[in-house]
Chain A
Amino acid sequence: MENTLFLVCRIGETWLGLPATKVEAVVTLGDVVAVPHAPDAVWGLVSIRSRLLTLIDSSIASGTHSDGTASYMVIVSVDGHGYGLTLDEVDDVVDLTSLQPVPGNLGFGWRLLADQMADQFGRIILIVEPSRIIEAAQSSKSLAA
């Protein structure tokens, strides 16, 4: 059976669950070095414990464009590269078992990220694979004119 533990966190007004096995760490945001001409959703570069990470602005990648400034990031590895995904709030690691498909009227950005969701005591949690966020970030338009 698949692992049912998820890190529940918030981007804008949306709660999402990242598979706990995919999450390496959650840290507070530090210094970010900008990367000119990278896609919009790339916030910049950060170094955490002598590791270089590409910081993805999850609110842009998900099309949320929340105005709240993210203060955390979750560290994930995709295809051997380390990424930080910004988060507005981190709740807890919870066990989510009864997953159901997302409705079709999900916002466009989220539709690219989530196929399933969970209803946790009335709070809807979208189940998101970190690699999907990075894919979405990659297709976010570049700053280049």
Chain B
Amino acid sequence: MDDLLREFVGESLDMMEAVASDLVAWEQNPSDRSGLDQIFRTIHTVKGSSSFFDLPRVTAIAHGAEELLDALRTRKCEPDHTLIASILAAFDRIRLLVNAIANDGAEPVGDDADVIALLLAGVRSFDHGAKQLSVPSDEDLLPLPEQATGAIADGIATREVPAEWRSVRVPLELLDEVMNGASDLVLARNEVAAALRAEGLDPVNIAPFERLSGLLGSLRGSVSKMRMVPLRQMFAPLPRLVRQLSAELNKQVRLVTDGGEVEIDREVIEALRDPIIHVLRNAIDHGIEPPADRASIGKAATATIRISGRQVGNRIFICIEDDGAGLAEQGLIKRAIAAGHLTAERAARLSSDAINELVFLPGLSTAEAVTGISGRGVGMDVVKANVEKLGGAIRINSSAGAGVSIVFDVPMTLTIISALAIDIAGCEYAVPRSAVEEVLLMSSDSVQRVKSGGAQMVRVRGRLLPLVVIEDLLGIEPAKPSETGDTNDTNDTNDRALVLCRLSGMVSIALEVPDIRDHAELVIKPLPPILLAAGLYNGFSLPDNGRPMLVLDVEGIARRANANCALEDALESQIADAIDDCQAADKWLCFQTIGSANISAVPMASIDRLVDLPASQIHRAGQRLVASIGETLIPIHDDGLIIPSGDSRIRMIILSDGARKMLLPVRNVLEITALKPEMLASVDDDMLIGLTMFDGDIVEMLDVYRLLGQAAGPISAGKLTPALPQRVIWIVEQNGSSWARSFLMPSLAAAGYAVQFTNSAAQVSDPDAIVIIPCDEAHQDVGDIGNVAMLELHRGNKVRTIAAYDRSSLIAALQDDADQNVVAAKPSPRKRKGA
């Protein structure tokens, strides 16, 4: 807050001085009224900021002055000495107060009725029509301003503003010029270095040159600091915007800002301003419910939008959260299908995260109708593109009924980046360090080239990544070994390097490059549009050697290499396809868990997606492990997982039953295949559905619903929106078997049914109830599967037999029944015949 206040003080003192002289200029030359509007705007700003800082005295005076100025401005009257004097008195008082604030950090106690009375008397004089008539006579008023100025009855001594509060205001263009100058100096120094080298001198050994380099370095540092502005500069106009928008839309919104002290490059701020305003508008227009609706669902009538900034390393995270209704998922899906981005079948299988991502597709706006506030022209796709142009990323998280949070993840500064210089056939290119996850040699043991279906991939420690060979992508002939002389005898691929690049989201690609030169701090210049159009570069630079260097845009490379692989890494897309596949029901993903040589499998249908979690996102909380993904906490199945140190990543499967999620750490993903249990699990081993053989190995088929039940706990009410109103299902319990309780019930409960136990079907009184009877004898008639336990599903006069392990068929059958009921129940409610 101190910084904010400091800025206010500096600004107000400057402004007061400027407007006072403007006012006097107008008095002297009444025909030039241009200054008057400026004065009005200035005093309006002072009023706004002072009320923001809760400085009631300043606000009151500024308000009075503003009214009088407005009257002067709109009535087109001649300057009047008395009026001018009272305004000047007001300005002087504001200056005194601000001075006091600068020294004490708070507004002094006191009364400004004298000054305000003068101003209001001036305003009143207009209200009475002819101002000349009603202005209090000079004798009454003239001495007062002097009194008012001199009085300072409350003991505000005129003191100097403390030195550290002083600042100089510089036009932005000048700052840019200085910045460019500093950059050019660095470049010129590089040229000198190159020239010295050409003369056979080593610049490192020339003391004055070294000193020059040092000085330039610190100059560049200070200039970069000059470019940094606190986030609050961007936040400052937002409360007003929110106020205005919410008034227009008849909503009540409170804006909370946090982290305004975080400093960020002015250029980044400028590029973020529109996207952030856009997101705010969306939130108020579409996200936040009208006050009455909010009240009816038990929310505070006034919605809260929180915008916060924080710095992590040289990245800035700006988070905008609202507590509105969340994204209209169905609307999004409908629009995505209408826009041809998605098929209905695929939509049905999207995870909720993926649905949220739909917002960023072009041509989607969740607004039912285009309003004047949002839902016209630019969409979230433009917002995303703008953020990505900055080398940033944007993430969205929505929970129905609880609101949306959108995180902008942007670099702190654009002008100097640390980069890897790579050499491609004699030309140097830069890869921003921020995009680089890891650098390996192609010859390393942990790197393995794989080819499938024409796609090149690499396996790096069990992780499959799409491989992009940079020369192929850029269409450059690889340098022939013979040209580089002594590399003749070494295997070509062995010298080459692999740069694993992180794309937005959790996706990575592997970039195979001929050679990595070194790390460099590069002064990045923006590309002209003609080069941006190539979609492969996001800047250029002139390094020491004086040869222009292009900065590769990793996202663009992934896009060009293969539009799909940019979105999902190979395995993930395979999984996504399998999820799409109607046959997914019996497809299982086989994997090895960490800390066990056994092979486990989970049904594809239960997999939300795969993630590579940095260890830093994993926390041990009491007896359990949790990970933060986006803004949510997800429990981790803790099977003696040892959290690695540093920034290494752990591959995890996100398991979900639609309502709950959990993470299952995996060491190695092996295969997606159809599995059926060959041996059902014993009752005691309640985490398994059964065992089967695959490729000569025993595979443990995990009971995901038990796992979820154990790790994620019961479904919290409100989180789960069952597809149907909750129905009761009766299970007939067998003597001495807890199977129904330990296996069946959690599955059914997870699917949204209420489960009741009974000893006999006859005791169920509701004729429409669903009753499940586990069979004592195994049935023989299930094809090649062999002996399996079966369930009988009774509903009314219908009986179906379903394999006991076959949860999906069971749920489908239950769902079927419910659907039929909707049609059949009305004409003739069936009578239960017996069971």
Q: Is B529 engaged at the interface, CB distance under 8 Å to the other chain?
A: yes
Structural contact, B475 and A143, CB atoms closer than 8 A: yes
Structural contact, B528 and A81, CB atoms closer than 8 A: yes
Structural contact, B184 and A50, CB atoms closer than 8 A: yes
Of B188, B531, B547, B549, the contact of A50 (CB 8 Å cutoff): B188
Bound-complex Cα distance A79 to B529 (A): 10
Task: List B524-558 residues whose CB lies under 8 Å from chain A.
Answer: 525-531, 533-537, 540-542, 546-550
Structural contact, A138 and B529, CB atoms closer than 8 A: yes
Structural contact, B427 and A47, CB atoms closer than 8 A: no
A42 and B188 in contact, given A37-B536, A47-B542 (Cβ under 8 angstroms)? no
Task: List A18-68 residues whose CB lies under 8 Å from chain B.
Answer: 31, 33-39, 42, 45-47, 50-52, 54, 56
Bound-complex Cα distance A33 to B547 (A): 7
Q: Using CB atoms, name the residue of chain B closest to A41.
A: B530
Q: Is A83 engaged at the interface, CB distance under 8 Å to the other chain?
A: yes
Structural contact, A50 and B534, CB atoms closer than 8 A: no
Contacts of A134 in B (CB 8 A): 528, 530
Structural contact, B533 and A47, CB atoms closer than 8 A: no
Contacts of B533 in A (CB 8 A): 38-39, 138, 142
Contacts of A78 in B (CB 8 A): 528
Contacts of B474 in A (CB 8 A): 36-37
Bound-complex Cα distance A33 to B474 (A): 14
Structural contact, B548 and A33, CB atoms closer than 8 A: yes
A45 and B550 in contact, given A50-B191, A50-B542 (Cβ under 8 angstroms)? yes
Q: Is B823 engaged at the interface, CB distance under 8 Å to the other chain?
A: no
Structural contact, B531 and A42, CB atoms closer than 8 A: yes
Contacts of B534 in A (CB 8 A): 35-39, 142, 144
Contacts of B191 in A (CB 8 A): 50
A50 and B550 in contact, given A37-B475, A38-B530, A39-B530 (Cβ under 8 angstroms)? no
Which of under 10, 10 to 19, 20 to 34, or 35 or more describes the interface residues of B? 20 to 34
- A113-135 interface mask toward B, CB cutoff 8 Å, 1 = contact, 0 = none? 00000000000000000000010
Contacts of A54 in B (CB 8 A): 528, 530-531
Structural contact, B530 and A33, CB atoms closer than 8 A: no
Q: Using CB atoms, name the residue of chain A closest to B185.
A: A50
The minimal Cβ–Cβ distance linking B648 to chain A, given in whole angstroms, is 34
The minimal Cβ–Cβ distance linking B560 to chain A, given in whole angstroms, is 8
Contacts of B302 in A (CB 8 A): none
Bound-complex Cα distance A36 to B187 (A): 24
Q: Using CB atoms, name the residue of chain A closest to B189.
A: A50
Contacts of A50 in B (CB 8 A): 184, 187-188, 190-191, 542, 546
Of B525, B535, B536, the contact of A52 (CB 8 Å cutoff): B525
Contacts of B537 in A (CB 8 A): 35
The minimal Cβ–Cβ distance linking A74 to chain B, given in whole angstroms, is 16
The minimal Cβ–Cβ distance linking B186 to chain A, given in whole angstroms, is 9
Q: Is B476 engaged at the interface, CB distance under 8 Å to the other chain?
A: yes
Task: List B497-539 residues whose CB lies under 8 Å from chain A.
Answer: 525-531, 533-537
Bound-complex Cα distance A24 to B529 (A): 20
Q: Is A137 engaged at the interface, CB distance under 8 Å to the other chain?
A: yes
- B279-318 interface mask toward A, CB cutoff 8 Å, 1 = contact, 0 = none? 0000000000000000000000000000000000000000
Bound-complex Cα distance A31 to B188 (A): 18
Q: A45-B540, A79-B528, A81-B529 are in contact. List 18 more A-B contacts (CB 8 A).
A: A33-B427, A33-B547, A35-B537, A36-B475, A36-B534, A37-B475, A37-B534, A37-B536, A37-B560, A38-B533, A50-B184, A50-B187, A50-B188, A54-B531, A78-B528, A81-B528, A134-B530, A144-B534
Q: Can you report 29 A-B residue pairs in the complex whose CB atoms are below 8 A from each other?
A: A31-B547, A33-B427, A33-B549, A36-B534, A36-B536, A37-B474, A37-B475, A37-B560, A38-B531, A38-B533, A38-B534, A39-B530, A42-B530, A42-B531, A45-B540, A47-B542, A47-B547, A50-B191, A52-B540, A52-B542, A54-B528, A54-B530, A79-B528, A79-B529, A81-B528, A83-B528, A138-B529, A138-B530, A144-B560
